[in-house]
Amino acid sequence: VAQLPADHRSGFVAVIGRPNVGKSTLFNRLLGQKIAITSPKPQTTRDQVLGILTREDTQIIFLDTPGIHQPRHKLGEYMVTVATETIEDADVVLWLVDINVPPTEEDQQIGTLLHQLQQKGTLPPLVLGGNKLDLFQGDEGALAVRLDAYASLLPWLAQGEEPLRRVALSALTGAGVDELVALLRELLPLGPRYYPADQVTDLQTRFIVAELIRERALHLLQQEVPHSIAVVVDEFVPRSENLTYISAVIYVERPSQKGIVLGEGGRMIRRIGQEARREIEELLGTRVYLELWVKVWEKWRRRENMLRRLGYAT
């Protein structure tokens, strides 16, 4: 076992932000491996994703919280509960925003939640990450004004009780990302490595595979099917050292959606399968035999036992 430096720091960072601000992109950049799912559509990451960044003097365990938004159904309520617990249990909270736009209603909701936790005394130290710097048109002054607009959603910081730690960055180009890591590190306690250095994720492979399939489906289906699809990997069987058999079900809410996912003569489902298979093969480093099924499960979002089956509830 390698000797760690005396100032080795470690801990948990909860990443929070409204959909599409770039949480998954940042996560992928920091960890150098595709485990969180990115897509141009909001709400792609519904689950808490755990990833681990290991450096010589630091180990950061990132928790990618699901979006905070107004709960409209059971899944929404569950997401808010998980996000809240994740934040309260973390050593540091990273709030990611898009600096190219003023705070939205969803940002205000996040600000409100953070304020509630601050008043309860359960909010860990906070870092504001202004993402998508590569797209920002204004000068330094305009950047500061924009970041202030976000800071004003956190009244206790605006009142100067505590400085707001902030950094502008681009998850896409990597600008400012080292600065961000350094800032997070300063806020972590001294501590050991919790995970082996080469372990970038704790996630079950099955779950990652299901997410890759869901991502491919969302990309290919464009606007035709809303976010009401879920993917469950039923079978995951290594057949040999270089062949894995995977059987997965894509759940849709309505029979009409089933037809769309299948496509004419099964063309769409074959395409989803082909593209997903390529990504899964890259992930697993084996050839993959992928079997995809489409099933209708009405209103699955509202169903507790389905949530349990998907691992959203216990």
Closest separation in Å from C-beta 21 to ligand GDP? 5
- In terms of CB distance, is 23 or 165 closer to Mg ion? 23
- In terms of CB distance, is 44 or 131 closer to K ion? 44
- In terms of CB distance, is 169 or 292 closer to ligand GDP? 169
Q: Give yes or no for residue 25 binding Mg ion (CB under 5 A).
A: no
Q: Give yes or no for residue 23 binding ligand GDP (CB under 6 A).
A: yes
Closest by CA position to 37, among listed 288, 268, 209, 250: 209
Q: Of 13, 21, 22, 24, which one interacts with Mg ion (CB under 5 A)?
A: 24
How big is the site for Mg ion, counted in residues (CB under 5 A)?
3
Closest separation in Å from C-beta 201 to Mg ion? 15
Q: Give yes or no for residue 63 binding ligand GDP (CB under 6 A).
A: no
CA distance readout (Å), 141 to 144, 147, 148, 297: 5, 10, 11, 52
- In terms of CB distance, is 135 or 142 closer to ligand GDP? 135
Closest by CA position to 290, among listed 219, 170, 196, 206: 206
* Contacting residues toward K ion, per CB under 5 A: 44
- H-helix or E-strand spanning residue 36: none
User: Which parts of 122-151 interact with ligand GDP (CB under 6 A)?
Assistant: 131-132, 134-135
**How far from the centroid of its chain's Cα atoms is residue 89's Cα?**
17
Q: Give yes or no for residue 40 binding ligand GDP (CB under 6 A).
A: yes
Q: Give yes or no for residue 101 binding ligand GDP (CB under 6 A).
A: no
Torsion of CA 299, 20, 234, 276, to 10 degrees: 130
Closest by CA position to 133, among listed 96, 184, 103: 96
Closest by CA position to 236, among listed 227, 246, 228: 246
Q: Are 99 and 136 in contact (CB under 8 A)?
A: yes
Q: Give yes or no for residue 45 binding Mg ion (CB under 5 A).
A: yes
Q: Are 125 and 184 in contact (CB under 8 A)?
A: no
- In terms of CB distance, is 110 or 123 closer to K ion? 110
Q: Of 49, 79, 127, 171, which one interacts with ligand GDP (CB under 6 A)?
A: 171
Q: Which two tokens stand for residue 148?
A: 């202030």
- In terms of CB distance, is 24 or 84 closer to ligand GDP? 24
The site string for ligand GDP over 172-201 (x = CB under 6 A, - otherwise) reads x-----------------------------
Q: How many Cβ atoms sit within 10 Å of the Cβ of residue 242?
A: 12
- In terms of CB distance, is 185 or 214 closer to Mg ion? 214
Closest by CA position to 74, among listed 309, 306, 295, 254: 306
Query: Rule CB under 6 A: which residues touch ligand GDP?
Result: 17, 19-25, 38-40, 44-45, 131-132, 134-135, 170-172
Query: Rule CB under 5 A: which residues touch Mg ion?
Result: 23-24, 45
